[in-house]
Structures are given as C-alpha cells and as structure tokens.
Amino acid sequence: MSEMLAHSGTTRDGFSWTSSNGMKKGNFTSKGVISPSERIRSPGDFVYDTIVVGAGYAGLSSARDLTNAGRKVLLLEGRDRVGGRTFTIKEDGFNYEMGGTWVSHCQPHTFRELLRYNMDKDLIKTRESGHANDYYTFALSDAPARHVSHEEAAASAAKGWNLFINVDGAYGRKICPLPHQQLENVQVDRKEVEKWDSYSCWDRFEEMKSQLNKEESDLLLSLLLMISGGNLHNSSLWDMIRSQALVNHEFNNFEDIWFLYKLREGQSALARNIFNDAVSNGLEYAFQTPVSGIKQVSNNLNHVSTRDGRIYQARKVICAVPLNILKHLNFEPSLSPLRQEAVEAGHINYMTKIHAVVKGSGMASWNGVCYPNNILYAYGDGVLPSGDAHLVCFGTDERPHFVPERDPAKILSALQNFHPMEVKKLVFHNWNTDPYSQAGPCFWPPGFMTKYQEELQSRHKNVFFASADWANGWRAFIDGALEQGFLNAQNVLNELRQEDKATLPGARSSL
C-alpha cells in the first residue's frame, strides 16, 4: 500500500453528558474510524467480483474472506467507521463499548477471529469484587429497596427463569437441543418448534406466574424485558428458549458467557484488524457513502447506487445491513413478498445501553435491578484511571417517553431509583435513533423465526444477505454476524469459481 491508514480518528457517533458541558454528540476517539475514508483505485466502469454493503462484522468478515481469496471487492459503508452496531470510544483512559461488548469461548466464530488476530488471551473481566458496595440491590415495584449478596440475587433470578423456560420438562434440551440448527434438525419435529415459536413471553408468563411470589415475578419480568428489548407481548418465547440453549441449557452459565469477558483493546480493535487484513490484500472501500439501491441489470451484472449519485458495478452483492434498515434500500427486481413482509415487520429490540461514571470506586462491585424503570439493570464494570466507578446500564423499549440524548435528567433519575450515587458523566449511543440501525440487537416477535428466518437467509438473484439479525445461532450477537459473513462469503466465492470455470477456462486456476 502506498497510503497509510490512521490507527484511530474521531467518529460522529455517540453522546456524552456532564453537568458542566451538557450533552455532546460525536467527536469521540475510536480505533474504528477509517482515514482516509475512501480507497478506490479501479476505473469508474470496473466490474468488481463482489460489492459488500455495510462494514459491521458480517460485512467486514465477508469482504476480508473474499479479498484474501484473490477477489476484487468493494466495501461501501454509510458510517465513518467499521463495526456497525459495535464500536469502542476511548475516553478518560477507558474503553467504553457502545454496542456489542462481551465475548466467550462458547461463541465459535468469535473465538476463531480472536485466535486469528492473537486476541484470544488478551481479555479482561467485567466484574470486580471487594469494593465498598459489593452487593446486589433489588428495587422492585413499590417495595423498599434491599441489598442482597450476588449469590442470593442469582438464585432468586434462576428460580423464575427456570420455571419460565422449562416448557419441555428438560429446560429446553428437548425442544432446542441444537441451537445452531433450530429448524429441520434431526431431533425435533418442525411443528413442535412452530408451536413454541408462536408463544409470546406474556403467554408463557401467564401459564406459570402463580408459582412465583411478587419479587420473583418482578425479577423474571425485568430480565425478559432486558433480554428482548421489547415488551412482553411482542417478545418471542422462542428467543428465550434459544438463549437458554446457547448457554448449554444452564441459567448459571448466562453471566459468564454473556456478561463477563471483554477485549482489552476494545471491539473496534478487532473490527479494525479484520478490515486492515482485507486492505493489505487489496480491498477497495468508501466510507461515509450510504447506499440507496441495488439493481440486477443482467444475470451477471449488478448496479449498487449511492445517495450521492454514484453507481458501482459487480457480479455479486452481499448486503450486510440490519433488518430494520432493509426497507430503506430500493431493490430491483423487488424482494419476494415474504421477505418484504418480514422487512416491513422488522424486529422489536429497542433497548437502551448507557455508561455511567460514578464518583469513587465503591460502585465498581455493585449490581442492581430496578423495575419498573427507564433503566432496568446496572452492572459495576471496572474503575477508571480517575478512581471513579464505571457502570454499564440497560433498559428496554421506552421510546414513547424516553430518548436518552434529549432526556439526561431522566437517566439520572432512573439511576437514583436504584441506589444513591453521584453520577459525574454519561456515555452512550442511541441505536434506536441511529439512521443505520434504527434499533438495537435483533430479537424477534412470536412466529417470526419459523415464518421468516429461512427466507431472510436466502439469496435474491445475485444479492446475498449477511447479518446477525438472521443468524442461525448467536442472532443479535457479534458471533452471529461473523457466522453470516463467513457463510455468505463462502457461497459467493464458490459461485464465482464455478462461473469462472464455465466461462473462462484456465482463468484464476489458482483460486
């Protein structure tokens, strides 16, 4: 390469608040920012082997795999950075993860990438014990808040969850034995899966709520809302069954697999490693270049149009944008009626994720649940170089009355509802108002999986679709995005090879 890529820059994404400066948008340092923002060396009429739309983990991994296989690839991205719904802000000498955060050796595609870039051993833990407030706070309904041990909190949550999830008498082992092959697997008849997929979380809660006291009920309801990012009526029971299966059907595994291990260098470092790998092998790219449409011109030629009026050509296209964004792209020919139906329905996760810097180190060992509240859960997550505690906080869909960047006072009030604390700073990104996501990580309504998953995973002419939003296993997670990037890159590469063999004997024989 004759040009050098900057190792970090400032992104327009993200918000922070302090009492002295108020709400600030953008201008945050991140390793994910790409500068220069464009590297296109091919002439304007060049036909790429593949154009990849979207530089989240699905798009990055597919672009990398195809480029490293010797293919001519163009990556187009509307943002100023890589990572999609995952990126790291470096502030206060600390890595704030704005979206997807935690990793686990139980996530196969993620672990493969960590091994590839020598990041598998460079992990840090979220939990720190031994600070002053080393307990779990229950602030539930109208009852006075009370502090319990972390072990007691886990046992109370486990009781409700295990009753809720035990639809088959085996805690999901019978109905979902293979979470990466939920449909058409060797163990379970599809009609059984369709039956449980038709249930909402509310349907199941109504069946079993009499077995819980008020505190146990509130704990279960708050947990379901945090996981789904929706409400109990529009959240699928199957998504909870799938979540249970992915942690080896044991509630006690949730915390270690979902919320414990982070990358020391941050998620943007991993995304940047994948991107740099591809660039070193010839990837062309344009950031800050939103795509407006994808048109199939002929059997082996596709046009990808950008909002600024440019048109790029390719034999194949991998569309790696989130489900809730697909309706804003123009496809010619039109998508199938079934896919259009899924796209219009979209997914239901409109969660909130907010980082809070709290004076002193005491809250670094604290966890809490507050229900009902604009923020449902808060977890102590390390101590900043300043000596202040860092909390990472989650809420469900509160859009009608709570927009974090407009309502910092509501964030502070919600945190005080958990526990007295002096909040010095807030850092977050609102994925629900983000034009390139328009929601958080994907969770589905009842019946969505059995009706639409296979269609969403299928190709549309010469357009392939890669996103964590319809992954086989870790849907809504980084691992699901990497899975879909890998699978679609393999499918495209195999097809390109077959076409080359048929039309250009001897060409690219090394591929």
Q: Are strands 284-286 and 9-11 parallel, antiparallel or unpaired?
A: unpaired
| Distance in angstroms (rounded) separating the CA atoms of residues 199 and 221 | 16
For residue 459, with 0-12 CB atoms within 10 Å meaning exposed, 13-18 middle and 19 or more buried, which class applies?
middle
Query: Whose structure tokens read 């600070």?
Result: 131
Q: Give whole-number Cα distances, 295 to 25, 66, 420, 461, in Å.
A: 35, 21, 56, 10
Q: Are strands 367-371 and 377-383 parallel, antiparallel or unpaired?
A: antiparallel
Query: Whose structure tokens read 């091919």?
Result: 42
* Helices 448-457 & 337-345 angle (0-180, nearest 10): 120
| Distance in angstroms (rounded) separating the CA atoms of residues 237 and 292 | 35
Bind-site residues: 291, 394
Neighbours of 146 (CB within 10 A): 12
Q: Give whole-number Cα distances, 70 to 282, 319, 412, in Å.
A: 8, 20, 52
Query: Whose structure tokens read 């489900």?
Result: 323
Let me know: does 149 contact 143? Beta carbons within 8 Å: no
Q: In terms of Cα–Cα distance, which of 464, 509, 495 is closest to 59?
A: 464
Q: Specify the DSSP class assigned to residue 210.
A: G
Q: Report residue 179 as tokens.
A: 């979470």
Query: Whose structure tokens read 């509240």?
Result: 373
Where helices occur in 69-132 by DSSP H, the ranges are 108-116
Bind-site residues for FAD: 291
Query: Whose structure tokens read 């809720």?
Result: 164
Q: Report residue 507 as tokens.
A: 């060409």
Bind-site residues for substrate: 394
| Distance in angstroms (rounded) separating the CA atoms of residues 511 and 500 | 10
List residues bridging with 395 in a β-sheet.
352
Length of the chain counted residue by residue: 511
List residues bridging with 9 in a β-sheet.
30
| Distance in angstroms (rounded) separating the CA atoms of residues 97 and 431 | 13
